[in-house]
Each structure stands twice: as C-alpha cells, then as structure tokens.
Chain A
Amino acid sequence: MLLNVRLSGEDERVVRGLRRAKVNVSELVRRALREAAAREHRVQPSRSVLVKEIIDAIPGPVGKTKRPPLDDRRAVAAFIARKLNRG
C-alpha cells in the first residue's frame, strides 16, 4: 500500500531537513503509524481506578472536611461567601 499524505509548507521544510540529515522518512512514518496503533489498542485503566490510585497515593488525615452539600448551589455559594468575608 502506498500512502499519499498532503504536507503543509512547514511539514515540507521538516521533511527536507530530515532528508538532508539522511533520516529515512518512510521508516519514520511507518514507526509513527505502528506507535499510534499500539497507543490506540493499549488497555487504559478506567478513570475511577486512576482516581482511586491517586487517593491512595495522597492520603489525608482522619475526619471529614467541613463542606456544604455539593448538589446545593445556595449552600455552596453561602459557604464560599463566608470564606471570602473571613479573608
């Protein structure tokens, strides 16, 4: 398979520079394609697993942080206003 890729002026300058430096551009493209495909197929842990890992890696003190209910916008606004007034 032959791959045709339209290059911008900037990309063209990059390719000319690589060729001058005796870099095999075709092999470079093949490698980039293989790496991109490998990235696509890599199994990523779910986001919640990452969150749990971060929480475990950064432990906190025992006890709850005092805070309003996060689904109550008026309580949240009042809490922030109190903090600002205190500052």
Chain B
Amino acid sequence: MRRVLVHTGPLVALVDPKDRLHARATRELDRLKGPLCVGLPVLTEAHFLLGAAHLRRRVTALLEAEVLRLDAPDRPDLVTLRALEWLAHHAEHAPDFTDGFLVAWAEREALAIWTFEREFSTVWRTLAGKQVRLAAK
C-alpha cells in the first residue's frame, strides 16, 4: 500500500479536539489508505504549534500506536537538495521548507500528501511542472 505524507496541519489538528479542523482531520483520517508517514520537518513544525505538553504526548502516542509512522525519504540528501531548489523556484510565494521537502519527497517516491493548505492544489507544482498528488481532496 502506498504511503501518505502527513503535513503539519492534519497532524496538529488530530491531537487537539479544540482545534477548528479536528473534525475534518479525523474524518479524512479514516478515508486515507496506506501508512501515514510523518517526516522530521513536519514533526519539528508541529512541535512549535503544539505548545502544551499533553498535545505533544498525544503525538508520541500516535507514533507508538502506529497510527502514524515516523519516516524519511529513501534519499534524504537528494530530496533536501530538490526541496531547496523548489524553494528557490517558488521564492515569490515565500514557501516554507516543510512544503518544499514534502513536494520533493512526494515527487521522488510518487506519494500523495495529506494537507489542509490550499496552495498544494492551487499554487505549488513539482519542479517538473506537475500537480502535487493529494491524499484527501
């Protein structure tokens, strides 16, 4: 089963029922097929947004329960370089490193991204000019 790359928004919303997007996150979660993978850039970003200790502990519990899987690209070096190139290419929109990393990783391994950010469907393209594959639309 093909993996899905989880973006920061769904990860944070999942563990906080008080977040406006929690219901959407849990709804979409059950529709997604395949292992849900969290990369280090997403986990790092999420920790900035999850200020409270109990929310961070819930993320750890999700990883331990294998609802989510901590994962990395098969070639982190190439994906990182590609992400940096992608960031330069989209510089006028000031994207985040995490966005570039996910797009580059998804492009390299033909994976889909689970995100709440509209830019992934409306603005971001791979460096090859292709649409980013989204896991939930």
Residues of A within 8 A of B (CB): 46-48, 50-52, 54-55, 57-61, 64-71, 73-74, 76-77, 79-80, 83-84
Write the nearest CB–CB distance from B30 to chain A, whole angstroms.
Answer: 5
Given contact pairs A48-B27, A65-B52, A69-B21, enumerate 10 new A-B contacts (beta carbons under 8 Å): A47-B29, A47-B67, A54-B58, A60-B54, A67-B51, A68-B49, A71-B21, A74-B94, A76-B49, A83-B48
Decide: A48 and B49 in contact? CB cutoff 8 A: no
Contacts of B117 in A (CB 8 A): 71, 73
Write the nearest CB–CB distance from B80 to chain A, whole angstroms.
Answer: 19
In chain B, positions 28-60 with a C-beta closer than 8 Å to chain A are 29-30, 32, 36, 45, 48-52, 54-55, 57-58
Write the nearest CB–CB distance from A32 to chain B, whole angstroms.
Answer: 21
Residues of B within 8 A of A (CB): 8-10, 12-21, 26-27, 29-30, 32, 36, 45, 48-52, 54-55, 57-58, 61-62, 65, 67, 94-96, 99, 116-119
Q: What are 13 of the A-B contact pairs (CB < 8 Å)?
A: A47-B32, A48-B30, A51-B14, A54-B15, A54-B61, A57-B61, A58-B54, A60-B54, A65-B50, A69-B20, A70-B21, A76-B8, A79-B49
A68 to B31, CA, bound (A): 26
Write the nearest CB–CB distance from B3 to chain A, whole angstroms.
Answer: 14
Write the nearest CB–CB distance from A41 to chain B, whole angstroms.
Answer: 17
Q: Is the interface of A mostly helix, strand, loop or mixed?
A: helix
